[in-house]
Structure 1
């Protein structure tokens, strides 16, 4: 659902790590990518490619797990049995996406246990948008529609990338996300065409979520010093700004069509087809990414509790001496 370019940036001097690579193997590697071939786990790859892919896929997986939490809190409070069942199925899908992504990341050499440990300890990041609260049912609907829409923009591009296991996982994920997006759109339409109270509720939710949505794709390209090598290796298939512009092209008209107002007085499309908008608060973005958002501690506390509560199950499954104990009647 939630893979974002906002969390896997590399330092400006990271390309110097290529100095230690075999130039012949590096040239062959880049030629394969230029030809559109997929890189597989047992193929030779530069250390920097492996490192950045691991971090990118791992953080995508974390975003699926953490991203299910704000929506998960609305399963029991969703209006009506049908909505509850749909919300439950969606959350289950997101956790399944994390499973696919952790498996893809493991092919690069990092264990799932280490990835989850790094998440809980705050070493690994996840998409900044999930550090904000979902106050109402309408907040959950905006997440299901517009956050998922942003994720699909990212993931559809990266599904055409160079690393085979990640691309195959994304193909499955994007197919399921298309249903999630339709579910979210249906829920938003229901509120936007409902009673005055419902319309007010969805507009207020959109107002709350628009600033995080605009940071979802990561800092603007003019602030980035790492995009060139990631795109050359087809780790990223589109820049942050390209993804943001595509999202605005696709979804601002749909928002306006519902009679909703985008809370940005500067938002408009120029004659050249480029959207203008209020520049996001990137300092606030960095603060939230680094652990000081409204819900950072809460999100990690839930994940930490899940790991601790499930530890006995993992020990039992992994122990060679584990025996099946018949439950009491």
Structure 2
């Protein structure tokens, strides 16, 4: 198979590749793939993996401050899971880097230099126990919507990793919802804590899914993932799914959403909402968010302090 591919013209390889995807076949790490497919996967999976690791940090801050032992154990387990997800995904990304002679360490260096981004929500502060609960309930809820959209991804290793990750993320969302429900049934101060968290995180949740495409499918960067069947829905479709799942749940608890324009239009069957400040994504991409540098510095220190572990586990050349 590989010998035949070597003798084929580039356009013939691409046609065969597209045909495999359309037929529902999974692409594996050692298969031939076009450069834009490989590049898109590296960017997507490495960002996803590093976001899992960086995403554990806002909740990690609440491990010593959790109100009960059970809550402490719960959030510790969640942090451990997120770190495991990150390790799994970076391993998947590492396989894609082999043709460029790059390894996981290169991904970490890209993070430290700002070339590798992590999700906008994890640049934010987690100021209260309500924030810790909301991260689990709504941020992980948003992540589940995005990730389940890629369970059928054409790249096999990513799809298989996502099946495991999504199963665990469901428990994380339930963990966060349990915290929110306990606070919602508590004192006025506790209820206000949740409302403050909703007000603080709402714009970040809209930014989470990325800007809507202004072009036809197949012509914008985000639609490369749709062209190659890595995912099936656009950013806006994912955001609409988030509204449909969570708006009524939030309102049913007696909370308000900081958007007076938010409503469901029956004629278009879409949610109408106030657009977030998309310029904030560019600011965060420069690692200039509220907690960007603090989180990066913590990761730099941890990476350096644990260098001896990586060296001890590295294969020895005899």
Alpha-carbon deviation of 1:290?
1.7
Alignment equivalent of 1:225, drawn from 205, 212, 220? 220
* Residues 164-183 of structure 1 mapped to structure 2, 5 A cutoff: 164-183=156-175
The change in CA–CA distance for 1:162 and 1:303 in structure 2 (over 3 A counts) is same
Distance in 1, matches of 2:212 and 2:226, equals 15
Distance in 2, matches of 1:318 and 1:287, equals 37
- Aligned residues: CA RMSD: 1.5
Equivalent residue of 1:107, what SS? helix
* Residues 275-294 of structure 1 mapped to structure 2, 5 A cutoff: 275-294=271-290
Matched, 1:262 2:238: no
The question of whether the paired residues in 1 share the 8 Å contact of 2:223 and 2:234 is answered with no
Alignment equivalent of 1:142, drawn from 123, 127, 134? 134
Matched, 1:61 2:56: no
The question of whether the paired residues in 1 share the 8 Å contact of 2:90 and 2:104 is answered with yes
The question of whether the paired residues in 1 share the 8 Å contact of 2:184 and 2:194 is answered with yes
Distance in 2, matches of 1:106 and 1:318, equals 15
Distance in 2, matches of 1:315 and 1:41, equals 26
Distance in 2, matches of 1:138 and 1:112, equals 35
Gaps of 5+ in 1: 1-20, 323-329
The change in CA–CA distance for 1:317 and 1:206 in structure 2 (over 3 A counts) is same
* Residues 29-178 of structure 1 mapped to structure 2, 5 A cutoff: 29-109=17-97, 110-178=102-170
The question of whether the paired residues in 2 share the 8 Å contact of 1:145 and 1:180 is answered with yes
Matched, 1:210 2:202: yes
Distance in 2, matches of 1:319 and 1:163, equals 28
Equivalent residue of 1:158, what SS? coil
* TM norm structure 1: 0.89
Large movers: runs of 4+ above 6 Å: none
The question of whether the paired residues in 2 share the 8 Å contact of 1:192 and 1:260 is answered with no
Distance in 2, matches of 1:165 and 1:246, equals 26
Distance in 2, matches of 1:166 and 1:320, equals 29
The question of whether the paired residues in 2 share the 8 Å contact of 1:62 and 1:126 is answered with yes
Alignment equivalent of 2:248, drawn from 244, 253, 274? 253
Alpha-carbon deviation of 1:321?
8.6
Aligned residues: 302
Q: Could you say which structure has the greater relative contact order, defined with CA pairs below 8 angstroms and 6 or more residues apart? A: 1
Matched, 1:244 2:239: yes
Deviations 1:97-119 (A, max 9, x none): 00110111112124111111111
Alpha-carbon deviation of 1:236?
2.8
Deviations 1:153-184 (A, max 9, x none): 01001111100000000000000001001111
Alpha-carbon deviation of 1:221?
1.7
268-277 or 89-98: which moved more?
Answer: 268-277
Alpha-carbon deviation of 1:227?
3.3
Alpha-carbon deviation of 1:225?
2.1
133-142 or 101-110: which moved more?
Answer: 101-110
